Structure formats: structure tokens, C-alpha cells
Copies of this chain bind each other. A is one copy, B any other.
Amino acid sequence: MDTSSVKDYLIGLQNQITTAIAQIDGGNFLSDAWEKPPGEALQGHGITQILEGGEVFERAGCGFSHVRGPQLPPSATHARPELAGAPFEAMGVSLVFHPRNPYIPTVHMNVRMLSAQTAQGQNVAWFGGGMDLTPYYGFEDDAVHFHRTCRDALSPFGSQLYPKFKAWCDDYFCLRHRNEQRGVGGIFFDDFAQFDDSQNLAMLQSVGNALLPAYLPIVKKRMHTAYGERERAHQLYRRGRYVEFNLVWDRGTHFGLQSGGRTESILLSMPPLVSWSYQLQAAPGSPEHDLMQRFIVRRDWL
């Protein structure tokens, strides 16, 4: 596996995405290059890009990171006992965009590669990632478009991938303490090494490249919809679920914070402004109620 070409791809993807988002927004991303201090077990560096207080995006974070560690954590070697304790390398791009207008959904995408060497000197690489959409108001068109774009990104690699990754996404992005989905889902995969390296990577790239075509048409369609205090209050309340999921259930976030990851880069995913309120329930028949009944559920969107 030539990791430097993967790195070039990921940095290019990050720039392509943030450039497109900045263009729609009119604002600029701050670009913050960081390096892990020497002496820590995990070594590495990254580029954190963030746009805050924009016209269209209230908080849009997109991070690239590349770390090396002396020893794969046990969680990563469960399916690969031959790599237990091996030095490893991980790189990826991760993003969460929180729009200002409650009619635009929040989106999350992540593409990552892990690689390690067996004791016999053999390189092994595997891949993970996906994307999912979290609307505050439900539009069937948007959910269908997002899922179709995900399916189309995967279909060159076999028709079985989309249904598998779609179900995986529903399983993963579930707030089990509320028995509630995070949004309308999308695709999620982990530990992927089904094909040869170059085909695995091609699949990962196809997912990464699908983010803009999956999301931008929705942003453009919804960004001029008028809204008022009611929609805003609903959005801030629903954003609380995003925080709950990421801090309580998301393995990357939770593990990252507990194991000495770079806090401000991990918490790029936090919404800019969030509210909590006791047992808030939408009135039956309202669009907020419709969201919960027909969108924030497991559903076939094709």
C-alpha cells in the first residue's frame, strides 16, 4: 500500500470540499495545521479546517489527520489477531457541517485508512467511513437523493455494498438511550478489506467523492427557505441529540477524548449552539412531529 498517495488523495479531498462549502457560504475556513508534541505515544499531525459564524454554515469543521502509534489498540485487532501489538498508521478526513437554516440538514462524512505490518513484514491495510444526514425538517426528496448518491458511489463495487452499509449506518447512528435514530442515515462501514488494496481504496475514494454531490444540491435547495423562532428553537433542541450521540455513543469521539486525542479537532463535530429542555414533545400533526415519525426512523429510502 502506497500510503503517500492515500494521503495526497485525502488532503485533496479536504480542500475540494472546504473550497466548495466556502464558495456557497461566502465565508472562509480557518486552516490550522497541528502536530502532536514529541514524546507522546501517538505521533502525528493534521490540518483542521473550520468555518464558524458563516452566512449558510454556522459551524462547519473538516479535519485531516495522520497518526502513527507504537501498538494497535486491542479494539482494532479483534478481527486481525496476527496484528496484535503491531505498530500502525491511521489517516483520514472527517467532517460535520452544521448549517444555520433549520431547513438544511446537518451532514457528517468520514473516510479513513488504517495500516500495519505483520511480524513477517507484510503490509495490511483496511478502511472505514461513511456519511449520514441529519435533517431538522423532513423532505423525502432530500433523503432519497442522499441515499441514491450513496448507492451510486458504491454500486461499481458490487450491489451488495449499499444495503449492507445502509443497515450498518442505521445500527451505528442510533441513540440507544432514547431508542432514536440520529437522522435519516446513509452508509457506514468499518474494517473493510474485502478487495485488494487498490480496489478497497477506490471504493473509499468513491465514497469521499460522493459527499459534495450528495449534500450540495440539498443545501442549495433549502438555503433560501424562510424560517422563524419556532424552527430555530426546534433545530437547537434537535442538535442536543447530536451532542448526546457523539459524546456518549460515537466510538471515535469517546475513545479519542479518553485516550489523549486532540480535543478541539475531535469536537469539530459539536454544534455551535444547542439547547436542552425537559420532555419536549412536538404536537401531533406538526412538521416537527412528522420529522420524528417519518424521517428519524429506519426506512428504505431508495
- A: residues with CB less than 8 A from B are 30, 32, 48, 50, 52, 59, 61, 176-178, 236, 240, 243-244, 247-248, 254, 257-258, 260-261, 263-264, 266-268, 270-279
Q: Which residues on the B side are within 8 Å of A279 (C-beta)? A: 32, 264
Distance A106 CA – B163 CA, assembled complex (angstroms): 47
Question: Judging by beta carbons under 8 Å apart, are A273 and B270 in contact?
Answer: no
Q: Which residues on the B side are within 8 Å of A48 (C-beta)? A: 278
Distance A240 CA – B243 CA, assembled complex (angstroms): 10
Q: How many copies does the complex hold?
A: 2
Instruction: Kindly provide the distance from the CB of A33 to the nearest chain B CB, expressed in whole angstroms.
Output: 13
Instruction: Kindly provide the distance from the CB of A54 to the nearest chain B CB, expressed in whole angstroms.
Output: 13
Cβ-neighbour of A278 out of B30, B176, B178, B258 (below 8 A)? B30
Q: Which residues on the B side are within 8 Å of A30 (C-beta)? A: 278
Question: Judging by beta carbons under 8 Å apart, are B257 and A278 in contact?
Answer: no
Distance A271 CA – B263 CA, assembled complex (angstroms): 21
Q: Which residues on the B side are within 8 Å of A278 (C-beta)? A: 30, 32, 48, 50, 52, 61, 264, 268
Q: Which residues on the B side are within 8 Å of A254 (C-beta)? A: 248
- If over half of A's interface residues share one DSSP class (helix, strand or loop), that class is named, otherwise mixed; here it is mixed
> Contacts A271-B276, A278-B264 known; A258 to B176 CB distance under 8 Å?
yes
Question: Judging by beta carbons under 8 Å apart, are A274 and B277 in contact?
Answer: no
Q: Which residues on the B side are within 8 Å of A270 (C-beta)? A: 240, 276
Additional A-B contacts beyond A52-B277, A264-B279, A272-B276 (17; CB < 8 A): A32-B279, A48-B278, A50-B278, A59-B276, A176-B258, A177-B257, A177-B266, A240-B270, A244-B267, A248-B248, A248-B258, A268-B278, A271-B276, A272-B275, A273-B275, A274-B275, A274-B276
Residue of B with least CB distance to A259: B177
Distance A277 CA – B260 CA, assembled complex (angstroms): 20
Q: Which residues on the B side are within 8 Å of A257 (C-beta)? A: 177, 244, 248
Question: Judging by beta carbons under 8 Å apart, are B178 and A273 in contact?
Answer: no
Cβ-neighbour of A274 out of B61, B248, B273 (below 8 A)? B273
Instruction: Kindly provide the distance from the CB of A158 to the nearest chain B CB, expressed in whole angstroms.
Output: 35
Question: Judging by beta carbons under 8 Å apart, are B276 and A178 in contact?
Answer: no
Distance A248 CA – B250 CA, assembled complex (angstroms): 11
Residue of B with least CB distance to A277: B52
Instruction: Kindly provide the distance from the CB of A238 to the nearest chain B CB, expressed in whole angstroms.
Output: 14
Instruction: Kindly provide the distance from the CB of A128 to the nearest chain B CB, expressed in whole angstroms.
Output: 22
Q: Which residues on the B side are within 8 Å of A176 (C-beta)? A: 258
Distance A236 CA – B272 CA, assembled complex (angstroms): 10
Cβ-neighbour of A247 out of B247, B260, B275 (below 8 A)? B247
> Contacts A248-B257, A271-B276, A274-B274 known; A263 to B177 CB distance under 8 Å?
yes
